[in-house]
C-alpha cells in the first residue's frame, strides 16, 4: 500500500509529516472522505469543489490545481488496486514553528490515503440504530461554519465519547439554540407523511456529499424534501429516520432517546432511498483503471 505525500508515493509505513505541521499541532487544515464503488470514484468533482471551498474560507492555498488534485486522487486509487475503497484527502497548513502564526508555515502539505473502511456492522443496516442526544453541542455557525470540513473534530469526538458511554454507536447533536444539527459523523434525515426532512446547514449541519446525493435521489423519486430547523420532537414523532455519511452511507434509525421511531423497524422510504443511492454510486463519478497487481493489492 502506497500513500501520496506531497507529490510522491511512499510505502504506508514510511509516510511522514513534520511534528511542526500546523495540522498536527492545531488542527489547522481541511480534509475530504471519498468513496470508490467498483472502480468508480463517487462524485469526485463535488468533493474537490468542497475541498477548495474549505481552503478558500480558511485562507489556505492548496499547492495543486483542482485538475492536478483530481489526477493525484485518481492515481492513488489506481495504485491501491481495490474495487471498493475509502479515500482520505488531507491538506494541512504545513510545517511552521510552535507558535500559532500561520504565516510561518512555508508550504501546505497534501496527503492522500486510499484504503478500506467499515464503520458499522451489517446488522445495523438491516435492523437499524439506536441514538441518544448528547450534552455536547455543535460548534455554532458564527464560530466555525459547518461547511468548512476542517481537521479539528474535537467537538465531534467529545460527542462520540458520550454516545459510547451511553452504550450506542451514534448520537444526535443539537446546536446552541436546541435545534437538531447532525450526528457526530453523519447527517440525519427523517420522514413524516411521505416528506423527507433534514437540518439546514444554517442549523449547524455539514453539507455532506452523501446528504446532497440523498436529496437528489428523493427529487428523482418525486419525494418532497425540506431543509430547515427541527427539534427532537420532530425526530421522536417521525415515521422513519436514518443517518447518512461517506463512510456510513445510509443507515436506518429505529430508536432515539428511548423513543421508538415509527414501527421500530427500518421504513420503506428509507429502503427506497438506499436502493436509489446505491444505483447512483455506480454511475455518478470517475471511472478508474485499477492496478490489480499483487503489489497494488498488498
Burial call 127-143: b when 16+ CB within 10 Å, e when fewer: ebbbbbbbebbbbebee
Give pTM, 2 decimals: 0.92
Rounded to an integer, the average pLDDT of 262-290 is 92
Q: Which fold has domain 122-281?
A: D-amino Acid Aminotransferase; Chain A, domain 2 (3.20.10)
66 has a pLDDT exceeding 90: yes
Burial class (CB in 10 A: 0-12, 13-18, 19+), 153: middle
Place of cell 481552503: 55
- Terminal alpha carbon distance of the chain: 6
Torsion angle, CA of 206/208/211/213, rounded to 10 degrees?
A: 150
297 has a pLDDT exceeding 50: no
Query: CB neighbours of 129 closer than 8 A, spacing ≥ 6?
Result: 120, 168, 169, 170, 243, 251, 252, 253, 254, 255
Q: CA-CA distance, 151 to 91, in Å (whole number)?
A: 9
Domain ranges of the chain: 2-117, 122-281
Give the CA diameter of the chain: 57
Q: Which fold has domain 2-117?
A: D-amino Acid Aminotransferase; Chain A, domain 1 (3.30.470)
Provide the CA 202 distance to its chain's centre, in angstroms: 18
Whether 122-281 and 2-117 are alike in CATH topology: the answer is: no
Please report the pLDDT score of residue 296 as a whole number: 42
Rounded to an integer, the average pLDDT of 222-246 is 97
**Measured at the alpha carbon of residue 246, what is the angle toward residues 283 and 119, in degrees to the nearest 5?**
125
**Interval 125-171: pLDDT, tens:** 999 999 999 999 999 999 999 999 999 999 999 999 999 999 999 99
**Interval 24-64: pLDDT, tens:** 999 999 999 999 999 999 999 999 999 999 999 999 999 99
Please report the pLDDT score of residue 292 as a whole number: 57
Amino acid at each position: 500500500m502506497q500513500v501520496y505525500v506531497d507529490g510522491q508515493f511512499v510505502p504506508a509505513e514510511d509516510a511522514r509529516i513534520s511534528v511542526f505541521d500546523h495540522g498536527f499541532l492545531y488542527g489547522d487544515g481541511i480534509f475530504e472522505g471519498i468513496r470508490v464503488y467498483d472502480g468508480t470514484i463517487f462524485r469526485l468533482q463535488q468533493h474537490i469543489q468542497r475541498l477548495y471551498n474549505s481552503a478558500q474560507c480558511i485562507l489556505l492555498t492548496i499547492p495543486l490545481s483542482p485538475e492536478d488534485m483530481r489526477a493525484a486522487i485518481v492515481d492513488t486509487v489506481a495504485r491501491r488496486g481495490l474495487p471498493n475503497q475509502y479515500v482520505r484527502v488531507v491538506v494541512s497548513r504545513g510545517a511552521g514553528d510552535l507558535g500559532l502564526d500561520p504565516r510561518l508555515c512555508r508550504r501546505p502539505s497534501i496527503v492522500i490515503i486510499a484504503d478500506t473502511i467499515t464503520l458499522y456492522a451489517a446488522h445495523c443496516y438491516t435492523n437499524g440504530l439506536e441514538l441518544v442526544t448528547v450534552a455536547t453541542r455543535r460548534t455554532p455557525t458564527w464560530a466555525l461554519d459547518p461547511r468548512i470540513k476542517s481537521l479539528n473534530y474535537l467537538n465531534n469526538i467529545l460527542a462520540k465519547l458520550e454516545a459510547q458511554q451511553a452504550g450506542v454507536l451514534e448520537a444526535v447533536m443539537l446546536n446552541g439554540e436546541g435545534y437538531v444539527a447532525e450526528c457526530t459523523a453523519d447527517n440525519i434525515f427523517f420522514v413524516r407523511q411521505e416528506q423527507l426532512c433534514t437540518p439546514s446547514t444554517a442549523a449547524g449541519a455539514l453539507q455532506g456529499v452523501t446528504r446532497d446525493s440523498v436529496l437528489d435521489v428523493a427529487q428523482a423519486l418525486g419525494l418532497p424534501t425540506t431543509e430547515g430547523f427541527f427539534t427532537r420532537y420532530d425526530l421522536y414523532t417521525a415515521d422513519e429516520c436514518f443517518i447518512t455519511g461517506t463512510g456510513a452511507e445510509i443507515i436506518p434509525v429505529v430508536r432515539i432517546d428511548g423513543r421508538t421511531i415509527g414501527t421500530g423497524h427500518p421504513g420503506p422510504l428509507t429502503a427506497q432511498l438506499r436502493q436509489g443511492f446505491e444505483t447512483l454510486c455506480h454511475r455518478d463519478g470517475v471511472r478508474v483503471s485499477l492496478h490489480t497487481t499483487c503489489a497494488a493489492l498488498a
